[in-house]
């Protein structure tokens, strides 16, 4: 049984996880691990900048921050309250670690990809579409890390991104001593943090390629068609709830207050009814109401612009 397959000491009830980890030599000397983590982060920064720039077509800068130490829960708290995360695993390295990004960067990334300015990323929560698009970023982050690990199979898995709680108690890395590799990313004038939360034991036991020859051999920027295809799959797979709305005749507040069961409300449009299609409370198209057999149907009037409207409005 390898060291990575042994039960983590925190699984033994009645012991402090950090103390037991040091007693059983599962945590390296802090100075050596710090040097290793900082060197890895410095080497990853330009790779991430090139990847994000290649994805968005915009200038991206990445600067490694000093590494941090703590449990998975503690390190993830730095990305709250509105962070986005994905659990990931790399064969031969770690079965369970966290990729995280501040929500502002996720919004800026999605807006830039969809042709917007990306300037107001930190002002709101990311939408479901934007969270799905973040998977492309996290996949590239995992790929960059794979390229820096010696003697691994090169296979990584990234789970679907989610927002909110970044590390749950059930996650394997929740109470493990972990290292945070954090990066300040500047994209379209907006600055935010992304990072890897990696178990200390995994980083300690792994030989890291931190030289100039590693990137050309194992890492390259994805060509534009590949990015477009990956982005298209993410957006196409996002689930959006559409609602149809009909306008009624205007009423006074007093008339509305007097409404009772059995009262009749008339539609505002005479003749054919115009129905407005909405996604996340934004109008994205206009339809006509019809009937097929016993079921009412909608016929799109501006179908050519519908797809673009869904992507644009649902991502804001």
CATH code: domain of residue 264: 2.30.330.10
Same domain, 48 and 191: yes
Tokens of 291: 């009937």
Where b means 16+ CB within 10 Å and e means fewer, 225-246 reads eebeebbeebbeebebeeeeee
Q: How far is residue 11's CA from residue 13's CA, in Å, rounded to a whole number?
A: 6
Neighbours of 249 (CB within 10 A): 10
Has residue 278 been placed in a domain? yes
Label residue 194 by pLDDT band (50, 70, 90): very high
What pLDDT digit, counting tens, does each position of 203-247 carry? 988 887 755 444 443 333 444 455 556 555 655 555 566 777 777
Q: How far is 291 from 184, CA to CA, in rounded Å?
A: 55
286/165 same-domain check:
no
In the chain, the number of structural domains is 2
SS3 256: helix
pLDDT at 304 over 50: no
Q: Which of 237, 253, 273 is the last residue of a domain?
A: 237
Contacts made by residues 25-31, CB under 8 angstroms, sequence distance 24+ = 26/177, 26/200, 26/201, 27/177, 27/200, 27/201, 27/204, 28/200, 28/204, 30/69
The lowest-confidence range among 60-64, 238-242, 246-250, 289-293 is 238-242
Q: What is the pTM of this model?
A: 0.64
Q: What is the pLDDT of residues 4-48, one digit of tens each?
A: 444 444 444 555 655 665 555 554 468 889 999 999 999 999 999
User: What pLDDT does 229 receive?
Assistant: 61
Q: Any alpha helices (H) in the chain, and if so which ranges?
A: 17-23, 30-56, 72-76, 103-113, 128-146, 200-205, 214-218, 224-237, 253-257, 306-314
- 222 and 263 assigned to the same domain: no
Share of residues in the chain with pLDDT > 70 (%): 69
Distance separating alpha carbons of residues 192 and 171, to the nearest angstrom: 25
Average confidence score pLDDT of the chain? 75
**Quick check: is 3 in a domain?**
no
Report pLDDT digits (tens) over 154-182: 678 888 888 877 777 777 788 889 999 99
Looking at the structure, tell me whether residues 136 and 25 fall in a common domain: yes
Both tokens of residue 257?
């207050």
Same domain, 200 and 168: yes
Mean pLDDT of 266-293: 74
Please give the residue range of the domain that contains residue 274. Answer: 242-314
Contact between residue 277 and residue 283 where contact means Cβ atoms under 8 Å apart: yes
Which helix (H) or strand (E) segment holds residue 279: the answer is strand 274-279
Residue 4 in domain: no
Q: Are residues 78 and 175 in the same domain?
A: yes
Supply the DSSP symbol for 301.
S
pLDDT of the residue at 39: 92
Whether residues 26 and 54 share a domain: the answer is yes
Which one of 62-66, 71-75, 105-109, 159-163 scores highest in mean pLDDT?
Answer: 62-66
| Together in a domain, 168 and 181 | yes
């Amino acid at each position: 049984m390898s060291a990575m397959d042994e039960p983590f000491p925190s699984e033994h009830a009645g012991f402090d996880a950090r103390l037991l980890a040091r007693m059983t030599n599962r945590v390296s000397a802090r100075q050596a691990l710090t040097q290793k983590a900082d060197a890895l982060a410095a080497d990853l920064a330009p790779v991430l900048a090139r990847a994000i720039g290649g994805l968005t077509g915009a200038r991206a800068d990445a600067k490694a921050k000093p590494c941090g130490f703590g449990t998975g829960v503690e390190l993830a708290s730095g990305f709250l309250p509105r962070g986005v995360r994905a659990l990931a695993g790399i064969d031969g390295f770690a079965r369970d670690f966290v990729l995280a990004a501040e929500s502002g960067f996720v919004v800026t990334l999605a807006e830039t990809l969809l042709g917007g300015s990306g300037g107001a990323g930190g002002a709101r929560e990311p939408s479901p579409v934007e969270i799905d698009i973040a998977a492309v970023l996290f996949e590239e982050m995992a790929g960059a890390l794979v390229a820096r690990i010696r003697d691994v199979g090169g296979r990584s898995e990234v789970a679907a991104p989610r927002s909110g709680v970044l590390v749950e108690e059930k996650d394997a890395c929740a109470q493990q001593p972990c290292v945070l590799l954090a990066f300040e990313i500047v994209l379209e004038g907006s600055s935010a943090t992304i990072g890897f939360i990696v178990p200390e034991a995994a980083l300690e036991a792994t030989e890291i390629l931190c030289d100039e020859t590693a990137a050309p051999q194992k890492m390259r920027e994805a060509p534009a068609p590949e990015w477009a295809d990956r982005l298209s799959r993410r957006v196409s797979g996002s689930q959006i709830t559409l609602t149809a709305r009909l306008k009624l005749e205007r009423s006074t507040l007093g008339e509305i207050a007097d409404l009772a069961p059995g009262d009749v409300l008339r539609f505002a449009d005479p003749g054919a009814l115009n129905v407005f299609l909405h996604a996340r409370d934004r109008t994205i198209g206009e339809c006509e109401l019809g009937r097929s057999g016993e079921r009412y149907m909608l016929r799109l009037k501006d179908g050519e612009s519908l797809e673009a409207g869904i992507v644009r409005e649902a991502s804001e």
